[in-house]
Homo-oligomer: A and B are copies of this chain.
Amino acid sequence: MIRLTLAQLVDQLGGDLYGSPDIEITGLATLASASQHDLAFLSNAQYRSQLQTSRAACVVVSTPMKDEALKRGSTLVTDDAYAYWARLTQYWASLISPADEPKIHPSAFVHPLAKIDPTARIGPMCVVEAHAVIGKRSWLKSRVTVSRSCTVGEDCILHSGVVIGADGFGFALENGTWLKIEQLGSVRIGNQVEIGANSCIDRGALGDTVIEDGVKLDNLIQIGHNVHVGAHTAMAGCVGIAGSSRIGAHCTLGGGAIVLGHLQLTDHVHISAASVVTHSLLNPGTYSGVFPIDTNDAWHKNAATLRQLYSLRERIKHLESGNPK
């Protein structure tokens, strides 16, 4: 079990402590679930009502919450409680992670022509093919495939089941049958990229598929061949990006969103969950397109009417022309 005084914590991560530095912390928790040996945090105003009744040993808050938090008791004040909490979880994880894991698990298959940095970690049942490159401190969890000639930068995390560099979906139609277009490009992944479980990034047809620094992808995401994802863009689970699309930097895509092929999204574009991007979006902003959910009966009536929408518009035009019938 981990046991840290608040003094040790502040020593490590900074922050202004109001309360005894000798209090010992044995866990991290939410305001609502914290016991008297846990550290908790408040960053989302939505949870403010839970502050006063929290049993936490100490609460991390941002400066504007300081006075309110002090009424409760021991408080750790920082500029940005959520960023502080992120660093705290990282520190905590470093204390509990076993140091003795092998760098390359004996069950992994690493091709002799792959280049694995000695500080990288390759988990059980991973497959790293010829000429693939894995950078410093990057971590392939269990059952990850990095295919021939694909490169993964530094400080990346690839979760279980990820497939980097499967063939892009390229075929030429000839007399009703599909001829395979061999995918001769590869995948280049930058630094500090995280890719969720069972997500797939296809290799390029001629050029490469590119994922820039700091990109974060959730689980079960599909990135088609020759897609380019700009730095620090984040995508939630089940997103699909079709081939040759170019996603800008600092974008976010909600879960289940689909981007069609050969489109461009400029920087700072935000797509709502489950929306389908059918044309390029060249202005920053938030875009949505999802059928509103309703009771099944109400949906049925509205959906049926929707199929006559164009003719309803014509009927309105006709009414506006002054003819009731």
Contacts and interface: CB of A to CB of B under 8 A. Distances in A.
How big is chain A's contact interface, by range? Answer: 35 or more
A272 interface: yes
Interface in A282-325: 285-296, 298-310, 312-313, 315-316, 319-322, 324-325
Given A109-B107, A127-B142, A145-B142, A180 B194 contact: yes
A147 interface: yes
Interface stretch (A9-17, A18-26, A67-75, A199-207): A199-207
B85 A234 contact: no
Given A256-B258, A301-B309, A304-B310, 5 more contacts: A142-B145, A167-B196, A169-B196, A278-B293, A319-B319
A232 B175 CA distance: 11
Interface string A103-119: 00101010000000000
Contact of A272 (B29, B240, B296): B296
Contact of A288 (B90, B109, B293): B293
Contacts of A89: 180-184, 205
B234 A258 contact: no
Contacts of A143: 125, 127, 143, 145, 163
Given A255-B258, A299-B289, A303-B292, A222 B238 contact: yes
A240 to B, nearest CB: 4
A237 B169 contact: yes
A214 interface: yes
Nearest to A238: B240
A30 interface: yes
Contacts of A310: 298, 301-302, 304-305
Contacts of A49: none
Interface of A: 28-30, 33, 80, 82-83, 85-87, 89-90, 92-93, 98, 105, 107, 109, 123-125, 127, 129-130, 141-143, 145, 147, 157, 159-161, 163, 166-167, 169, 171-172, 174, 176-184, 192, 194, 196-198, 200, 202, 205-207, 214, 216, 218-220, 222, 224, 232, 234, 236-238, 240, 242, 250, 254-256, 258, 260, 271-279, 285-296, 298-310, 312-313, 315-316, 319-322, 324-325
Interface centre among A147, A177, A180, A250 (most CB of B within 10 A): A180
23 contacts: A28-B184, A86-B172, A105-B109, A109-B124, A125-B143, A142-B147, A161-B200, A163-B198, A163-B219, A169-B237, A198-B200, A260-B273, A271-B293, A272-B299, A277-B293, A288-B300, A290-B303, A292-B306, A302-B310, A308-B313, A312-B312, A312-B313, A319-B324
